[in-house]
Amino acid sequence: MSKYFLTGALVFMTIPLRASGLSTTFVDVVVESAKVGKVIKVHGPEGKGLLLKNLGDSPIRVTLTALLPAPQQIRPGAEPIPEPLWVRFDPPSILIPGHSEGEVKVSITIPALEKYHNRMFQVMVWSRGEAAHAQGVTYNAALLSNLRIHTLP
């Protein structure tokens, strides 16, 4: 049995692997003084939308999704956003060439209801990338960013 395991390990090690992955500075973003009932444009540290860098050689398709935070991810003073669909991504999916950067515009619309005033909502932004198939091997990369929105009284 160990002979087969060793052979399999040697075959696996001969598959060429390239450096790959995603990076972003859109990690822990806070929107202050958000008005309910209005479209809120979200900017990262560079003053742009969500910037994603493809660190690999191959193109990667990144799909964005808004998720509710797990209990251990909730920051002090924040609460999960009542509806993740309030968060929009434009485009919701983007193809980023190797060693390049792509921008996705992020916006939030919180319904104009009194109960949403003076609250701190939190949502997680899941950026999931899938690279093109290369020699029968597919690799995925993903980032999970924290977005908090503080609404006006």
22-151 folds as Immunoglobulin-like (2.60.40)
| pLDDT, tens digit, 9 for 90 and up, residues 14-26 | 333 445 689 999 9
Q: Where are the domains of the chain?
A: 22-151
| pLDDT, tens digit, 9 for 90 and up, residues 65-123 | 999 999 999 999 999 999 999 999 999 999 999 999 999 999 999 999 999 999 999 99
The residue to which tokens 């991504």 are assigned: 89
Q: How far apart are CA 148 and CA 139, in angstroms?
A: 30
Q: Work out the mean pLDDT of the chain and round it to a whole number.
A: 86
pTM of the model: 0.83
